[in-house]
Amino acid sequence: MSPVETSVSRREQRHSLALTVGLALVGVNLLVALLTLFWTPYDPLNASGGRLEAPSLLHWLGTDRLGRDLLTQLMIGARTALLVGTGAVAIGATIGVSLGVLAAFATRIADDVMAATLDILIAFPTLLLAMLVVAASDSASLWTAILALGLAISAIVARLTRILTKRVLRQDYIVASRTSGTSWAGVVFRHVLPNIWPTLSVNFALQFGLAVIAEASLSYLGLGAPPPNASWGRLLQEAQGTVYTAPIGAIAPGIALVALVIGMNLLADGLRDIGDPTRGRSR
Amino acid sequence: MLDLQNVSFGYSREQTTLNDVSLSVRPGTSVGLVGESGSGKTTLLRLMLGLIRPTSGVIRFGEESLDTGNSAFMQRYRRAVQPVFQDPYSSLDPRQRVIDIIGEPLRSLRIPGDRTQTVAEALEAVGLPLDAMRRYPHEFSGGQRQRIAIARAIVARPQIVLADEAVSALDLSTRIRIVELFKTLSEKLTLVFVSHDLGVVAALCEEMIILERGKVVESGKTRDILAAPKHPYTQRLLASIPRMPA
Amino acid sequence: MTALLNIQGLCIRAGDKPLVSDLSFSIRPGERIGMIGESGSGKSMTAMAATGLLPVSIGVSGSIELDSQQVVGATDRVLNRLRGAAAAVVFQEPLTALDPLMKIGRQIAEPVRRRLELESGKASKDAISREVRDLIDKVALPQPERIINSYPHEVSGGQRQRVAIAMALACRPKLLIADEPTTALDVTTQAEILKLLDQLVRETGMALLFISHDLPVVAQVVERVIVLKNGVAVEEGPVKTVFGNPQHDYTKTLVEAARLFDEALGATGS
């Protein structure tokens, strides 16, 4: 056995710090998003103060160019971001994992065709793909964006799943499972999925971040969900003109975006360890 | 009990891995399948496990012929014939608890009875403590993992256990203990032991079949072959084995 | 005669886990020593430490003198000169020990060129080519032209191991360290490689450090043997003594196990 692992304890410390920070960042966003379902400081649609007011006790982050409370919009933006991220990943995961597992079982020719198709799909930049879908549909709604992003993600997930599944299928315990009388379906649910989960979950977390940024980009370009769905991307776009006079308008949504994506990435490792009896450590 | 008659197998048309192999496994008589790399012993094992179909020839189990497509038959066959693999690190699902690993045949083959109790009996038979049930494979050593794999193989009380280089990946001191375990178990079931290590086969099996490049070159009682090997390959094989100084 | 390899109080640890504890032994020129141990015994670690091949994260303390040069804490420059000339290593897995993307001829030529350059400052293509063929012949590889132009995966495991031995010999080492060189090979191939090693070591007068877990294999090629358990040397002595009359409990278990399989095979020389 190769004892190249140095100070496992130090690595574990770093691990748990990353996890805590990630959990905190994502957790805050989640709580805020849930809160907005019941209450927001002000009405997001209508002006509640003067134009471009600086942060004050009344408006913690000030107001935007139309006099709307920035904090309120930021909070709703969290809801949008989480919705998009979770929705896109959910769609991408469902379609992607199913396709990927099927591809791993497919015969040589079918598998090659599928792999090639996936590679072509992946070659398209996610954002461009999403823009095409959104532009093609009549209603620029939040769900269109989520669907578009979900489809883009599914291609990447499918390819990853296919490779991971193939690797697992080569292991002796799969053969042992078959000789135990387990059906292929049983093998997939009992052995394949749990074993590909660690790597997949990390990928999901990363895709989540990408989806959030993609949606922000769409909104920034004006292709995103229209109000009342506030998006950090749209806030950034609106704050463009006044970035020198009222910087908070751009800084706040910017930080929020970064915080959520970083938080999710940090959480990624933690997600992998959940349900992993070896807690990420190699034998 | 298990008969292979003129079985041949090739992964492609040009390449035959097994050529006209015939052998019989009789109840209670342990058989060793000896061969080096390229001998076809792995393919032979996969055929006997019903994982692949022979390109020609017939495999009979009792009165019936091995039909991998017939699910009712395969259920009965799997209950009767179980494998133990070589690599203790890849033959156990790292994300499953030992009780689920060992209990899988009971579940998939729909064997009635108290599953926990049956698993406990299997653990006892292989010399592992009962608290192993709740633990995960990574908590065990290579030798212990192999015991878990053996427990899984015997939990459904099979008639035949097919061991594929089951001790080759183990250290010498562990190897001897697992060989002793196999010896004890072979009193209640028939052991088919595939190995390149003649010493292990000699210690475990009453009969031996020597494979070279997909063909059976010699077969018979282990004692007889060791004392007077007839085929030149067998002779070369025996002569190559490093012996302990007197 | 001063020892070729002199190890005193060697301790190897990974983090706070000791892999080898207080190991001491020496090898004189021309001597053949076997190191027996199971997995986790630290035998491979010791071999790597002897040539300074352990990664930086592994802590080595004690004294390792290779050809009168201290290896522990030595700079890479010093070590590079030692490696090859003082000691060369043959590893267990020939498939990973050879570069899969380089033709065999080129791979053997590398240490040859290095040695010629170190000795006489330059290395002509002819001289290198001649020596490569010479080495291929020495390790009894048939069809030298074919071998030279083949990639590692195109030849058999036994042939790859012969190539690895040729590469080790190319350095004209004083000490050949063989770490489980035949474990991954078939029994019949193993017998050939052992015979080859035995012959080469005798011919060149090299010292040999043969590491293995297989007792009868070790007995075939060495005179003295050291038994390692969990990084500690538990017994040492001539092969006949250690195998015939083991003192330590651990050695006894190993010898008993080996004898059990040996006896199952029946009388020798049938």
* CATH (domain of B126): 3.40.50.300
> Does A178 contact chain B (CB < 8 Å)?
yes
Contacts of B198 in chain C (CB under 8 A): 187, 265
3-class secondary structure per residue, chain C: CCCCEEEEEEEEEECCEEEEEEEEEEECCCCEEEEEECCCCCHHHHHHHHCCCCCCCEEEEEEEEECCEECCCCCHHHHHHHHHHCEEEECCCHHHHCCCCCCHHHHHHHHHHHHHHHHHCCCCHHHHHHHHHHHHHHCCCCCHHHHHCCCHHHCCHHHHHHHHHHHHHHCCCCEEEEECCCCCCCHHHHHHHHHHHHHHHHHHCCEEEEEECCHHHHHHHCCEEEEEECCEEEEEEEHHHHHHCCCCHHHHHHHHHHHHHHHHCCCCCC
B85 — pLDDT class (breaks 50, 70, 90): very high
Please give the average per-residue pLDDT across C203-215, as a whole number: 91
Residue B100: CB atoms within 10 Å: 15
Strand partners, C142: none
Q: What is the mean pLDDT of chain C?
A: 88
Cα–Cα–Cα angle for B95, B122, B200, nearest 5°? 90
C22 near C68, Cβ under 8 Å?
no
Which of A1, A3, A7 is closest, CB to CB, to C58?
A: A3
Q: Tell me the C-alpha distance between B129 and B131, whole Å.
A: 6
C40–A1: do the CB atoms touch at under 8 Å?
Answer: yes
Which pLDDT score, from 0 to 100, does residue A221 have? 83
- Supply the DSSP symbol for B60: E
Q: Pick the closest to residue C112 from C145, C79, C148, C76 (CA basis).
A: C148
Which residues from chain C sit within 8 angstroms of residue B223, using beta carbons?
266
- Mean pLDDT score, B35-48: 89
Under the banding of pLDDT at 50, 70 and 90, the label for residue A12 is low
Residue of chain B with shortest Cα separation from A273: B95
The pLDDT value given to residue B71: 84
- Binary contact (C270, B228; C-beta < 8 A): yes
Q: For chain A, positions 23-52, list CB contacts with chain B under 8 A.
A: none
Determine, yes or no, domain membership for B246.
Answer: no
Q: Do B203 and C264 touch (CB under 8 A)?
A: yes
Residue C65, strand partner residues: C6, C70
Residue of C194, C257, C265 with shortest CB distance to B172 = C257
Rounded to an integer, the average pLDDT of B53-75 is: 87
What pLDDT sits at residue C27? 92
Q: From residue C14, give the alpha-carbon distance in Å to each of A115, C23, C57, C201.
A: 43, 16, 7, 34
Query: Quick one: C72 exposed, middle or buried, by C-beta within 10 A (0-12, 13-18, 19+)?
Result: middle
A vs C: CB pairs below 8 A? 18
**C-beta of residue B106 within 8 angstroms of C-beta of residue B79:** no
Task: Give residue B25's domain range.
Answer: 2-237
Facing residue for B93 by CB, picked from A173, A275, A276:
A173
pTM, whole model, 2 decimals?
0.85
Query: Residue C269 above 80 pLDDT?
Result: no
Nearest to C41 by CA among C233, C184, C256: C233
> Which of B145, B170, B172 best tests the C interface by mutation, with the highest count of C CBs <10 A?
B172
Q: Which residue of B has its CA nearest to A274?
A: B95
Q: Which of A204, B124, A205, B171 is nearest to C183 (CA)?
A: B171
Enumerate the β-bridge partners of residue B81. Answer: B160
Inter-chain contact B242–C258, Cβ cutoff 8 Å? no
* Alpha helix segments (H runs only) across chain B: 41-48, 71-80, 98-108, 115-125, 142-154, 172-185, 198-204, 222-227, 232-240
Q: CB-based burial of residue B113 (10 Å sphere; 0-12 exposed, 13-18 middle, 19+ buried)?
A: exposed
Which of the listed CATH numbers 3.30.565.10, 3.40.640.10, 1.10.8.50, 1.10.3720.10 matches domain A80-273?
1.10.3720.10
A185 touches chain B (CB under 8 A): no
Q: Tally Cβ neighbours within 10 Å of residue C123.
A: 18
SS3 B171: coil
Tell me if B211 is assigned to some domain: yes
Q: Between B83, B89, B105, which is nearest A181 by CB?
A: B105
Q: What is the mean pLDDT of residues A83-98?
A: 94
* Mean pLDDT score, C137-141: 89
pLDDT at position A227 over 60: yes
Q: Give yes or no for residue C1 having a pLDDT over 70.
A: no
Query: Are C262 and B240 a contacting pair at CB < 8 A?
Result: no
Structurally, chain B folds into a number of domains equal to 1
Domains, chain C, with CATH or none: 5-264 (3.40.50.300)
Alpha-carbon gap, residue B103 to C15, rounded angstroms:
39
CB-CB under 8 Å, B85 with A175: yes
Residue B245 lies in a domain: no
Let me know if residue B244 belongs to a domain.
no
Q: Is B35 within 8 Å of B164 (Cβ atoms)?
A: no
Q: Is A35 helix (H, G, I), strand (E, B) or coil?
A: helix
C159: closest CA of chain A, how far (Å): 27
Of the residues B76, B89, B104, B107, the best mutation for testing chain A's interface (the one with the most A CB atoms within 10 Å of its CB) is B104
Q: Do A5 and C14 touch (CB under 8 A)?
A: yes
Q: How confident is the model at residue B16 (pLDDT cuts 50, 70, 90)?
A: confident
Range in A194-198, B197-201, C74-78 with the lowest mean pLDDT: C74-78
| Residue C208 structure tokens | 């040999």
Mean per-residue pLDDT, A232-252:
86
Q: Residue B42: what pLDDT?
A: 87
The arithmetic mean of pLDDT across residues B109-114, rounded, is 91
Q: B73 lies in a domain?
A: yes
- Using a 10 angstrom Cβ sphere, with 0-12 exposed, 13-18 middle and 19 or more buried, the burial of residue B134 is exposed
Between CA B163 and CA B182 the distance in angstroms is 9
Query: Tell me, what's the pLDDT at B84?
Result: 95
| pLDDT above 50: residue A6 | no
Distance between CA atoms of residues B120 and C124, nearest Å? 71
Do B145 and B137 meet the contact criterion of CB atoms below 8 Å apart?
yes
Q: Name chain A contacts of B95, Cβ cutoff 8 Å.
A: 194-195, 275-277
Report the mean per-residue pLDDT for chain A: 83
Q: What confidence tens digit (pLDDT) does each residue in B214-239 have? A: 999 999 999 999 999 999 999 999 99
| Residues present in chain A in total | 283
Quick check: A273 pLDDT over 80?
A: no
For residue C157, the chain B residues in CB contact (below 8 A) are: 37
Task: Tell which of B71, B76, B93 to mutate to test the A interface (max A CBs under 10 Å).
Answer: B93
Reported confidence tier of residue C118, pLDDT bands at 50, 70, 90: confident
Query: CA nearest C184 in B: which residue?
Result: B37
The position carrying tokens 């020892």 is C3
C14, A7: Cβ pair inside 8 Å? no
CB contact under 8 A, C187 and B198: yes
Chain B environment of A283 (Cβ under 8 Å): 89, 94, 138
The winner for highest mean pLDDT among A7-16, A183-192, C44-53, C59-68 is A183-192
The closest alpha carbon to C228, from C27, C46, C42, C11, belongs to C42
| Residues of C whose CB is below 8 A from A5 | 14-15
* In chain A, where the domains are located: 80-273
CA distance C115 to chain A (A): 31
Nearest CA to C183 out of C48, C44, C88 is that of C44
